[in-house]
Amino acid sequence: MQLIAVPKLQNAWSFKATFEGDLPPRYYQSPNVLLANPGWSDEVFRRSLEQLEFYLPTGHRIVMTGFEQYNFFLEVAQDLGRGGRGQIEAVYLCGKLPDQPVVYRWRIGGGRCVQDKVRWGMEGLGQPSRGWKSGVPGNKVDSLVVKW
Amino acid sequence: MAKPNTTFLVNNSTNDGENTGNATGGAGGNSSSWVVVDLVNDILAFLDTQQVDGDADTVGPYPVIIPAAGSIEAPKTFLIDDSESVYDQIPLAGSDQGGQTGGNTRYVFAIYFDGATAGIPYLEAWDDNTHATIASTFLGAGTPANSTLKAIATTDAAPGATSWAGTPLAGTSSRVSLAAAALGGAQNVYFNIRQVIASTFVPLTKTDGVLTLRYLYS
């Protein structure tokens, strides 16, 4: 049997955080967030983030940089009856603009990857979200999708 | 903030007390009694007075009778407990407009989270577990305000009135916030729910409707 290796997709559904400064660790690479604890609350995230990236299963990568704060979370829907297992409906990456109450928000779910802008405090399903990490404002703000 | 485990529970006593047993339920505050819901096999049912607590699950069900005029709150609420094969009544469910002892009561339905969330948890209702549509007449046939399911969050306080109205449940456009803020750690959130059937209601023979807990974690 012949196997087709696609090494670049091994990081699919994971994020990479790049920390400020030169001290190690310089990066945090999450596991597949659909299968394991993303680790967003780990001790290492006490440091400021220079950049946040998310690897899509399509061979693309979301890159967010220059924001004042960043957040990452998953949306789960769990039914009472007819299944009952909590199902992950979407993954979110958020970046708050420096000195403005505006959040750039990526939602990856339902086969779509969409960016919108929402008011600060409305990014978590219309309510404030918990878990913001400080960024390194001052650099150019970018929020885009690139090929891996 | 890993993904929290959640446990749905119902208070099958007439005593309004907290779920102190958390994920395992059992005896709670004020002599309440909490039953863990099997999310796969148990069913929440809004039924007529003819259905009696402890009925075998082969008896009935006796559906709510559509009124000739106005509307009626489902007289009784049950958990059809698959493991016990019985209708287990939830006496405090609903308001004082139904046929039970519900009203200004706080600890009726609980969801226990064993960890923090990244956002406020919501209670929603959908046509089915794809969470895509709210076309069922149970949910107002596309008009959320007409949903027959009305819920109220009681995590922080009792409803404040015995005849509480509740928020109609239909998709994300009409849903209930189960807490005032993202959960900082393990805790129970509480709610109450009732079903109101109007004289104009078109009966259904089948529905795949679901109550859905939606939350964020990181």
pLDDT tens, A90-119? 999 999 999 999 999 999 999 999 999 999
The partner residues of A47 in beta bridges, in order of sequence, read: none
Dihedral-angle region of residue A83 (phi above 0 means left; psi in -120 to 50 means alpha; beta otherwise): left
Neighbours of B142 (CB within 10 A): 13
CA B117 vs. chain centroid, Å, equals 21
Residues A42-57 pLDDT 10s: 888 889 999 999 999 9
Residues of B within 8 A of A77 (CB-CB) are 124, 131, 212-214
B122-126/B210-217 β-pairing: antiparallel
Is B124 a residue whose pLDDT tops 80? yes
Contact at CB, B216 and A92, closer than 8 angstroms: yes
Q: What is the DSSP letter of A85?
A: -
pLDDT value of position B205? 66
The partner residues of A94 in beta bridges, in order of sequence, read: A71, A105
Alpha-helical regions (H) of chain B: none
Residues B40-72 pLDDT 10s: 999 999 999 999 999 999 998 999 999 999 999
Residues A11-46 pLDDT 10s: 999 999 999 998 899 999 999 999 999 999 888 888
Structure tokens, B141 = 């046939």
Is B121 a residue whose pLDDT tops 60? yes
Long-range contacts made by residues A90-95, C-beta under 8 angstroms, separation at least 24?
A91/A13, A91/A33, A91/A34, A91/A54, A92/A123, A92/B216, A93/A15, A93/A52, A93/A54, A93/A62, A93/A64, A94/A70, A94/A123, A94/A129, A95/A52, A95/A64, A95/A67, A95/A68, A95/A69, A95/A70, A95/A135, A95/A141, A95/A143
The beta-carbon neighbor of A79 closest among B117, B211, B218 is: B211
Q: How far A66 CA sits from the closest chain B CA (Å)?
A: 21
Could you tell me the end-to-end alpha-carbon distance of chain B, in angstroms, rounded to an integer? 5
pLDDT value of position B202? 87
Residue A85: exposure state from Cβ atoms within 10 A (0-12, 13-18, ≥19): exposed
Q: What is the DSSP letter of B5?
A: P
Q: How far B198 CA sits from the closest chain A CA (Å)?
A: 24
**Residue pairs spanning A and B at CB distance below 8 A:** 115
Q: In terms of CA atoms, which chain B residue is nearest residue A133? A: B218
Q: What is the DSSP letter of B58?
A: T
Residues of B within 8 A of A44 (CB-CB) are none
Cα(B64)–Cα(B148) distance, integer angstroms: 12
Q: Return the minimum-mean-pLDDT range out of A18-32, A101-115, B114-128, B192-206.
A: B192-206
Residues of B within 8 A of A86 (CB-CB) are 3, 6, 213
Q: What is the DSSP letter of B66?
A: P
Cα(B218)–Cα(B212) distance, integer angstroms: 20
Contact at CB, B218 and A38, closer than 8 angstroms: yes
pLDDT higher for B188 or B101? Answer: B188
pLDDT value of position A45? 86
CA B72 vs. chain centroid, Å, equals 17
ipTM of the complex: 0.93
